[in-house]
């Protein structure tokens, strides 16, 4: 057995991936933690001092499942404001790695969005199909503001409603870990890797 040397080749790390090899680690745990901490601060600053939450209402953070679950959990703990959390489930990918472009809302948040300050939390923006289809549906519910916070952006497209907060402009590779999957595997890896 090799000793841990940062290259993720130890037996335990390989076991966590079910023995699958990864090409390389794109963002390690420390890099992700630092960037998420900064993003929490940026969101806090954006909504502090403005009239945004002056009436004592809380920010509504909506995580797009499943990919955002780890990012959202870490992010909300870095937002120094009253926050409520709910989720959305939009299905867009099958088990393959190519976007079908067909987006369905299969779970809708219970909370009303009307008059609320809403932040959508996404794991990664690839083709942009998901957000292009989803945002108009949510905008119709008349939130006071509607912003997108994504951990990763491949920058393949420019969206009409562009993400206000982007963690990393990432390479155009298929990424897994920290919530991102390949056929439902690898979501639990604490780092982001290229397959
Ligand atoms: P889009 O609609 O093409 O922008 O992609 C939206 C969703 O596809 C993301 O929220 C992810 O769940 C998934 N996705 C896109 N690119 C990747 C990737 O590189 N790895 C894992 N999932 C991805
Ligand atoms: Mg997703």
- Whether 148 lines ligand 1, by a CB cut-off of 6 Å, is no
- When the pLDDT of each residue in the chain is averaged and rounded to a whole number, the result is 89
Q: For the domain 25-48+57-92+101-194, what is the CATH code?
A: 3.40.50.2020
- Whether 179 lines ligand 1, by a CB cut-off of 6 Å, is no
- Whether 126 lines ligand 1, by a CB cut-off of 6 Å, is yes
| Per-residue pLDDT tens digits for 106-129 | 888 878 999 999 999 999 999 998
Find out whether 76 and 83 touch, Cβ atoms under 8 Å: yes
Which pTM was predicted?
0.90
Q: How far is residue 168's CA from residue 170's CA, in Å, rounded to a whole number?
A: 6
Atom of ligand 1 nearest to the CA of 182: 21
Q: How far is residue 38's CA from residue 59's CA, in Å, rounded to a whole number?
A: 18
Q: How far is residue 68's CA from residue 72's CA, in Å, rounded to a whole number?
A: 6
- Whether 167 lines ligand 1, by a CB cut-off of 6 Å, is no
Residues involved in catalysis: 126
Cβ contacts of 135 within 8 Å, gap of 6 or more: 120, 146, 148, 161
Buried b (16+ CB within 10 A) or exposed e, 127-153: ebbbbbbbbeebeeeebbebbbbbbbb
pLDDT band at 3 (very low <50, low <70, confident <90, very high): very low
Two tokens at 148?
A: 């997108």
List residues bridging with 175 in a β-sheet: 194
pLDDT above 60 for 99: no
Question: Where does residue 5 rank: exposed (0-12), middle (13-18), buried (19+ CB within 10 A)?
Answer: exposed
pLDDT above 50 for 143: yes
Question: Which of 95, 124, 159 should be mutated for ligand 1, with most atoms under 8 A from CB?
Answer: 124
User: pLDDT at position 5, please?
Assistant: 43
Question: Which of 91, 153, 172, 180 should be mutated for ligand 1, with most atoms under 8 A from CB?
Answer: 180
**Ligand 1 mean position to 126 CA, how many Å?**
5
- Whether 122 lines ligand 1, by a CB cut-off of 6 Å, is yes
| Per-residue pLDDT tens digits for 22-62 | 889 999 999 999 999 999 999 999 999 767 687 778 999 99
Q: How far is residue 74's CA from residue 78's CA, in Å, rounded to a whole number?
A: 7
- Ligand having the closest approach to the CA of 135: 1
Q: How far is residue 101's CA from residue 79's CA, in Å, rounded to a whole number?
A: 32
User: pLDDT at position 11, please?
Assistant: 86
**Ligand 2 mean position to 57 CA, how many Å?**
28
Phi, psi of 47 (to 5 degrees): -95, -5
């Amino acid at each position: 057995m090799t000793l841990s040397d940062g290259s993720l080749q130890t037996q335990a790390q390989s076991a966590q991936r079910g023995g699958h090899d990864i090409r390389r680690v794109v963002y390690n745990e420390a890099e992700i933690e630092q960037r998420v901490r900064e993003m929490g601060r940026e969101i806090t600053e954006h909504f502090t001092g403005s009239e945004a939450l002056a009436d004592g209402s809380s920010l509504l953070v909506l995580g797009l499942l499943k990919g955002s679950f780890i990012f959202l959990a870490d992010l909300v703990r870095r937002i120094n404001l009253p926050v409520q959390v709910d989720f959305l489930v939009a299905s867009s990918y099958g088990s393959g790695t190519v976007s079908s472009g067909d987006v369905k809302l299969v779970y809708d948040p219970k909370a009303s969005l009307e008059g609320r300050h809403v932040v959508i939390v996404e794991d990664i923006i690839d083709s942009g199909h998901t957000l292009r289809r989803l945002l108009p549906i949510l905008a119709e519910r008349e939130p006071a503001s509607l912003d997108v916070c994504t951990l990763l952006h491949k920058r393949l497209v420019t969206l009409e409603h562009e993400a206000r907060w982007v963690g990393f402009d990432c390479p155009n590779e298929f990424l897994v870990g920290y919530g991102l999957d390949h056929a439902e595997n690898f979501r639990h890896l604490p780092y982001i890797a290229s397959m």
